[in-house]
Chain A
Amino acid sequence: MSSNSQKKGFGATIWDYLTTVDHKKIAILYLISGGFFFLVGGVEAMLIRIQLMKAGNDFLSAGTYNEVLTMHGTTMIFLAAMPILLAFMNAVSPLQIGARDVAFPFLNSLGFWLFFFGGVFLNLSWFLGGAPDAGWTNYASLALASEGHGIDFYSLGLTISGFGTLIAGINFLVTIINMRAPGMTYMRMPLFTWTTFVASALILLAFPPLTVGIFFMVFDRLFGANFFDVTMGGNTIIWEHFFWIFGHPEVYILVLPAFGIFSEIFAIFSRKRLFGYTALVFATILIGFYGFMVWAHHMFTVGLGPTANAVFALATMIIAVPTGIKIFNWLLTIWGGSISFTVPMIYAVAFIPSFVAGGVTGVMQAIAPLDYQLHDSYFIVAHFHYVIVGGVVLAILAGTHLYWPKMFGTMLSEKLGKWTFWFFFIGFHLTFFIQHFLGLMGMPRRVYTFGADQGWDLFNAISSVGALFMAIGVIILLVNVVMTVAKNERVGNDPWGDGRTLEWAIPSPPPFYNFAQTPLVRGLDPYWIEKMEGNKEGMVYAEPLGDIHMPNGSFIPFVISLGMFIASFGAMYFMDDKAWALPVLIGGLAITFGSMLVRSLKDDLGFHVTKEELIADNERIQREARALEGGKKGGLK
Chain B
Amino acid sequence: MDLNKRYTPQTWPDHPETATLEGKNKFVGFWLLLAAETVTFASLFATYLALKDKGPSGMEFSAAGLFELPLVFAMTMILLTSSLTSVYAIYHMKNHNFKAMQAWLGITVLLGLAFLGLEIYEFNHYVHLGFGYTNSAFSSAFYTLVGTHGAHVVFGLSWFIALMIRNAKRGLNMYNAPKFYLAALYWHFIDVVWVFIFTVVYLMGVIG
Contact = CB atoms under 8 A, between A and B. Distances in A.
Interface string B139-176: 11100100000000000000100110010000000010
Contact of A227 (B28, B37, B140): B140
A interface majority secondary structure = helix
B138 interface: yes
B22 to A, nearest CB: 9
B129 interface: no
B36 A205 contact: yes
Interface SS of B by simple majority: helix
Contacts of B144: 215-216, 219, 225, 227
A212 B43 contact: yes
A605 B39 contact: no
A605 B43 contact: no
A231 interface: yes
B137 A170 contact: no
Interface residues of A, number: 40
B141 A103 contact: no
Interface in B23-78: 24-25, 28-29, 32-33, 35-37, 39-40, 43-44, 47, 50-51, 54-56, 59
A177 B26 CA distance: 12
A174 B25 CA distance: 6
Given A209-B43, A232-B55, A234-B51, A227 B36 contact: no
A226 B25 contact: no
Nearest to B47: A238
Interface residues of B, number: 38
B39 A234 contact: no
Contact of B47 (A177, A204, A212): A212
A597 B134 contact: no
Contacts of A227: 47, 51, 137, 140-141, 144
Interface in A596-614: 597, 600-601, 603, 605
B88 interface: no
B41 to A, nearest CB: 9
Contacts of A231: 56
A235 B141 CA distance: 11
Contacts of B35: 204-205
A216 B44 CA distance: 10
A232 B29 contact: no
Contacts of A179: 21, 25
A335 interface: no
Contact of A603 (B3, B36, B37, B51): B3
Given A204-B32, A225-B134, A233-B137, A605 B175 contact: yes
Contacts of A328: none
Nearest to A593: B158
A274 B8 CA distance: 53
Contact of B136 (A174, A209, A233): A233
Interface in A191-243: 204-205, 207-209, 211-213, 215-216, 219-220, 223-227, 229, 231-235, 238, 242
A178 interface: yes
A229 B29 contact: no
A229 B137 contact: yes
Interface string A152-174: 00000000000000100011011
B36 A207 contact: yes
A316 B206 CA distance: 40
Contacts, number: 111
Given A174-B25, A212-B40, A603 B133 contact: no
A104 interface: yes
A223 B133 contact: yes
B1 interface: yes
Which of A103, A212, A215, A223: most chain B Cβ within 10 A?
A: A212
Contacts of A605: 1, 3, 175
A84 B28 CA distance: 26
Max chain B C-beta neighbours (<10 A), residue from A213, A227, A232: A232
Contacts of A215: 144
A173 B36 CA distance: 13
Contacts of B162: 597, 600-601
A105 B35 CA distance: 21
A242 B43 CA distance: 8
B43 A177 contact: no
A225 B140 contact: yes
A143 to B, nearest CB: 16
Contacts of B179: 600
Question: B3, B29, B35 — which one has the most chain A CB atoms within 10 A of its CB?
Answer: B29
Given A178-B28, A605-B175, A208 B133 contact: no
Interface in A265-322: none
A178 B21 contact: yes
A170 B56 contact: no
Interface of B: 1, 3, 21, 24-25, 28-29, 32-33, 35-37, 39-40, 43-44, 47, 50-51, 54-56, 59, 133-134, 136-141, 144, 159, 162-163, 166, 175, 179
13 contacts: A103-B28, A170-B29, A174-B25, A216-B47, A225-B144, A226-B55, A227-B51, A227-B140, A227-B141, A235-B137, A238-B50, A597-B162, A603-B175
Given A173-B29, A204-B36, 17 more contacts: A205-B39, A207-B36, A208-B36, A209-B39, A212-B47, A216-B47, A224-B134, A225-B133, A227-B51, A227-B137, A229-B137, A232-B56, A233-B55, A233-B56, A234-B54, A235-B51, A597-B162
The 3 closest A-B pairs by CB, nearest first: A233-B54, A233-B137, A224-B134
